[in-house]
């Protein structure tokens, strides 16, 4: 389900991945398009579901979550509803990927302290065996995919 994207589309995507809050006029200047054409392009990209949102990124430490961890979860059975519910309740779980392999889920979790992390892991352990790795640092600053 891929869409054909030309150079201009990619230029727009590239700019908005880096600075999502620039105006459409400024965006047009950067990709050499008039404001109206830029508006149309962005509307198209949004309508096609290529661009699916614009998000502010925050420093987790600054907002009170100095501990970041990856928890892998071995989840026996196929009743996923209870886990879904925990994901809804626990905003500390930032990301949840269902994967192939022994560990069915890989979660990214933000915690206020090691004690808090322990609590979260305990809650997850109710679903299956967990493997937790604390993150030293985010080696890469945010970026999206480039042109294939």
Partner DNA sequence: GGTGAAAAGGTGCTGAT
Partner DNA sequence: ATCAGCACCTTTTCACC
Q: Does 44 bind a copy of itself (CB under 8 A)?
A: no
Q: Are 7 and 52 in contact (CB under 8 A)?
A: no
Q: Are 64 and 72 in contact (CB under 8 A)?
A: no
Q: Does 13 bind DNA (CB under 7 A)?
A: no
Residue 37 binds which of a copy of itself, DNA, none (CB < 5-8 A, kind-dependent):
DNA
Which of positions 16-75 make contact with DNA (CB under 7 A)? 23-26, 32-37, 39-41
Q: Does 27 bind a copy of itself (CB under 8 A)?
A: no
CA distance 73 to 75: 6
User: With respect to DNA, which residue has the nearer C-beta, 23 or 113?
Assistant: 23
User: With respect to a copy of itself, which residue has the nearer C-beta, 19 or 118?
Assistant: 19
Q: How many CB atoms lie within 10 A of CB 13?
A: 21
Q: Does 60 bind a copy of itself (CB under 8 A)?
A: yes
Q: How many CB atoms lie within 10 A of CB 136?
A: 7
Residue 34 binds which of DNA, a copy of itself, none (CB < 5-8 A, kind-dependent):
DNA
Give residue 77's region: left, alpha or beta (phi > 0; psi -120 to 50).
Answer: left
Footprint of DNA (CB under 7 A): 8, 23-26, 32-37, 39-41
């Amino acid at each position: 389900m891929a869409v054909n994207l030309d150079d201009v589309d990619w230029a727009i995507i590239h700019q908005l991945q880096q600075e999502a809050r620039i105006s459409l006029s400024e965006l047009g200047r950067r990709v050499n398009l008039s404001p109206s054409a830029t508006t149309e392009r962005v509307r198209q990209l949004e309508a096609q579901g290529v661009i699916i949102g614009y998000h502010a990124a925050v420093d987790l430490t600054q907002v009170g979550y100095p501990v970041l961890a990856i928890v892998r979860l071995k989840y026996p059975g196929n009743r996923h509803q209870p886990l879904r519910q925990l994901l809804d309740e626990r905003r500390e779980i930032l990301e949840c990927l269902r994967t192939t392999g022994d560990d069915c889920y890989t979660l990214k979790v933000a915690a206020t302290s090691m004690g808090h992390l322990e609590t979260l892991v305990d809650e997850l352990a109710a679903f299956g065996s967990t493997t937790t790795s604390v993150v030293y640092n985010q080696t890469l600053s945010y970026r999206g995919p480039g042109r294939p």
